């Protein structure tokens, strides 16, 4: 599976085009301007791809700017987690809160939940529910090529925000990272909603938030090693 990333808008939010065997899915639609949308279309045209699905990792406003445009441009399904519905219904409110404007997407009628799969071009993506940054956060995992699109859950050296946003939970977020993403294995490449791609192994070793969480959950016996010199 090929993964092409684009970073769009003042929010610096990533859109991904995943393709294989002439078919594609778009994961998140952060393209706000005509020029940004054209960049995605150019890659689709260059590789002569048929877009099968528009998928959302979650429906925060910076991830949905281009949804309506793609919906009108392609004959494809548009799906998200069911908990995305109230966020999409309040797209205008979300935009106003950040002083931006959005063309509200249509409200999806088919939903993705933990354990579901999405298929295109001979590829099957597995859906994992990874809430905490938002209740509708889901991740798309392609185990064969060890690549995962994880939205705003785990970033290079950082984690998804849980302050100043509705319906967040720091506890759920850390559980999504340590109990759901970490078991994907150190080789798994992570394509996040913001910033560069990384791997589970890199974040296990270098991400201070992950290290703290693993320490607290007993992943390393920190209390004993800290006390050993006294
Ligand atoms: Zn977000
Ligand atoms: Zn975001």
Q: Are 148 and 127 in contact (CB under 8 A)?
A: no
Q: In sequence order, what are the residues at sequence separation of 6 or more whose Cβ sits closer than 8 angstroms to the Cβ of residue 26?
A: 15, 16, 17, 40, 51, 53, 54, 55, 70
The domain that holds 119 is classified in CATH as 3.60.15.10
Give me the number of domains the chain comprises. Answer: 1
Spacing, Cα 56 to ligand 1 middle (Å) = 11
Cα(185) to ligand 2 centroid in Å equals 24
Q: In terms of pLDDT, which residue wins out, 70 or 217?
A: 70
Residue 46 or 229, more confident: 46
Assessment of whether the complete model's pTM goes beyond 0.75: yes
Mean pLDDT of 115-122: 98
User: Cα of 192 to ligand 1 centre, how many Å?
Assistant: 10
- The residue ranking higher by pLDDT, 170 or 217, is 170
Please check whether residue 63 lies inside any domain of the structure. yes
pLDDT, one tens digit per residue, over 66-107 is: 999 999 999 999 999 999 999 999 999 999 999 999 999 999
Q: Which tens digits make up the pLDDT trace of 123-159? A: 999 999 999 999 999 999 999 999 999 999 999 999 9
pLDDT tens sequence across 182-191: 999 999 999 9
Residue 198 lies in a domain: yes
- Determine the pLDDT at residue 83: 98
Range of the domain at 178: 2-220
In this prediction, residue 65 has a pLDDT band, given cuts at 50, 70 and 90, of very high
Q: Ligand 1 center to residue 37 CA distance, Å? A: 20
Alpha-carbon gap, residue 75 to 153, rounded angstroms: 30
Confidence of residue 217 (pLDDT cuts 50, 70, 90): low
Residue 230 in domain:
no
| Residue 223 predicted with pLDDT over 60 | no
The reply to whether 225 falls in a domain is no
Q: Does 208 have pLDDT greater than 90?
A: yes
DSSP assignment of the chain equals -EEEEEEETTTTEEEEEEEETTEEEEE-----SHHHHHHHHHHHHHTTPEEEEEE-S---GGGTTTHHHHHHHS--EEEE-GGGHHHHHTHHHHHHHTT----PPPPPSEE--TT-EEEETTEEEEEEE--SSSTT-EEEEETTTTEEEEESSEETTEE---SSSTT--HHHHHHIIIIIIGGG-TT-EEEESBS--EEHHHHHHH-HHHHHHHHHTTSS-HHHHHHTT-
CB neighbour list of residue 110: distance below 8 Å, 6 or more residues apart: 77, 79
Mean pLDDT across the chain? 94
Cα(190) to centroid(ligand 1), Å: 16
Residue 223 CA to ligand 2 center (angstroms) comes to: 35
């Amino acid at each position: 599976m090929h993964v092409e990333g684009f970073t769009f808008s003042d929010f610096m939010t990533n859109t991904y085009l995943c393709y294989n065997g002439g078919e594609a899915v778009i994961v998140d639609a952060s393209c706000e301007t005509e020029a940004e949308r054209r960049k995605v279309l150019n890659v689709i045209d260059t590789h002569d791809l048929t877009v099968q699905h528009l998928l959302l990792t979650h429906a925060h406003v910076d991830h949905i700017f281009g949804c309506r445009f793609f919906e009108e441009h392609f004959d494809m399904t548009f799906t998200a987690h069911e908990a995305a519905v109230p966020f999409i219904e309040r797209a205008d409110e979300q935009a106003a809160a950040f002083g931006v404007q959005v063309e509200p997407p249509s409200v999806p009628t088919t939903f993705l939940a933990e354990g579901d799969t999405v298929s295109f071009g001979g590829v099957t993506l597995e859906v994992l529910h990874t809430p905490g940054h938002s209740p509708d956060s889901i991740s798309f995992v392609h185990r064969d090529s060890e690549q995962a699109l994880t939205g705003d859950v785990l970033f290079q050296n950082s984690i998804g925000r849980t302050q100043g946003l509705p319906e967040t939970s720091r506890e759920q977020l850390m559980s999504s990272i340590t109990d759901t993403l970490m078991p994907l294995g150190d080789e798994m490449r992570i394509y996040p909603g913001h910033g560069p791609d990384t791997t589970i192994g890199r974040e296990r070793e270098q991400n201070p938030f992950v290290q703290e969480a693993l320490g607290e959950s007993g992943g390393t016996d920190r209390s004993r090693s800290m006390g050993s010199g006294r």
